[in-house]
C-alpha cells in the first residue's frame, strides 16, 4: 500500500509541471487591465492662436489624465507570434486651457490592434513587444459658452500607430499577471465654422496592470 501511494505521489509530481504547462499554453488570452492615460497634450498654433485671441496669448490646451478599464483579447498563431485587440468603452475627457480651465468635453473610443512577439525561454516570465494601429472615434463634443463664438468642432475619426512592451507572469492554471506600456498616436483636426484651423494631439502613454486567463 505504501509503495502504491509513493508511486502515485511520484507520478503526480512528475505530471504537475506538464499539466500546468498545458493549462498555460492555449491559443487565447483574455486580460482585464487598469490603465492610466497620460496625454502628451501637444498642439499647434490654433490652440495658441485662435483660442488665445479670445482668451489670452500663449494659452495652451490640454485634456485630463485619468484611469480607465481595459479589456484585451490575444490570439497566438504560434508560441511566439500573437495579435492583440485592446478595447474599452467610450471615455469622457475634459478639454482645458491653461489659466482658464475647462472649455469643453468630448468622448473617444480608441480600439487598438497590435502584432506581438512573445519571448518564451524565461520560464513563467513571458515578455513581449508589439506594434500596430489605433482607430479613435470622437463623439459627444460639447463646448462651454466662453468659446461658443468660435463655432468650434473636432474631426470625429483618428488613425495612428501604436507601440507596446509588456510581460505576462504565469501563475499556473492558466492565470497570468500582466504589466503593459503602450504609446499611441491619437490626434484630431480642430474646426472653426467648418474650416480646419489646426490639430490637437493627444498621443497618450498608457501604463497598465492587470490579470489574465490563457485557454
Give every CB contact of residue 87 below 8 A, 6+ residues apart in sequence: 70, 71, 72, 73, 111
pLDDT tens readout for residues 157-206: 999 999 999 999 999 999 999 999 999 999 988 888 888 877 788 899 99
Residue 1 domain flag? no
Residue 40 domain flag? yes
Residue 99 domain flag? yes
pLDDT tens readout for residues 114-154: 999 999 999 999 999 999 999 999 999 999 887 777 788 88
Residue 6 domain flag? no
Task: Write down the pTM of the prediction.
Answer: 0.81
pLDDT tens readout for residues 69-105: 999 999 999 999 999 999 999 999 998 877 778 888 9
Residue 14 domain flag? no
Number of domains in the chain: 1
Residue 117 domain flag? yes
Structure confidence at residue 190 (pLDDT): 81
pLDDT tens readout for residues 43-65: 654 555 555 555 555 566 788 99
Residue 203 domain flag? yes
Q: What are the beta bridge partners of residue 25? A: none
Residue 16 domain flag? no
CATH code of residue 197: 2.40.160.20
Do 118 and 127 touch, CB atoms closer than 8 A?
A: yes
DSSP for 147-168? GGGG-EEE-SEEEEEEEEEEEE
Which domain does 46 fall in, by range?
26-214
Amino acid at each position: 500500500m505504501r509503495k502504491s501511494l509513493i508511486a502515485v505521489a511520484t507520478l503526480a509530481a512528475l505530471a504537475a509541471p506538464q499539466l500546468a504547462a498545458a493549462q498555460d499554453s492555449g491559443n487565447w488570452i483574455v486580460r482585464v487591465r487598469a490603465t492610466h492615460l497620460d496625454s502628451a497634450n501637444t498642439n499647434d498654433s490654433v490652440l495658441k492662436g485662435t483660442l488665445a485671441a479670445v482668451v489670452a496669448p500663449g494659452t495652451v490646451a490640454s485634456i485630463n489624465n485619468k484611469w480607465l478599464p481595459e479589456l484585451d483579447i490575444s490570439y497566438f498563431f504560434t508560441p511566439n507570434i500573437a495579435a492583440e485587440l485592446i478595447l474599452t468603452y467610450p471615455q469622457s475627457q475634459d478639454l482645458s486651457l491653461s489659466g482658464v480651465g475647462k472649455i469643453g468635453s468630448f468622448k473617444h473610443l480608441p480600439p487598438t490592434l497590435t502584432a506581438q512577439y512573445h519571448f518564451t525561454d524565461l520560464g513563467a516570465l513571458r515578455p513581449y513587444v508589439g506594434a500596430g494601429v489605433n482607430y479613435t472615434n470622437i463623439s459627444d463634443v460639447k463646448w462651454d459658452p466662453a468659446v461658443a463664438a468660435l463655432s468650434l468642432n473636432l474631426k470625429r475619426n483618428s488613425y495612428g500607430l501604436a507601440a507596446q512592451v509588456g510581460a505576462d507572469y504565469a501563475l499556473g492554471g492558466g492565470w497570468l499577471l500582466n504589466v503593459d506600456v503602450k504609446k499611441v498616436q491619437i490626434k484630431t483636426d480642430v474646426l472653426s465654422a467648418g474650416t480646419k484651423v489646426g490639430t490637437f494631439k493627444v498621443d497618450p502613454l498608457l501604463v497598465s496592470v492587470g490579470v489574465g486567463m490563457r485557454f
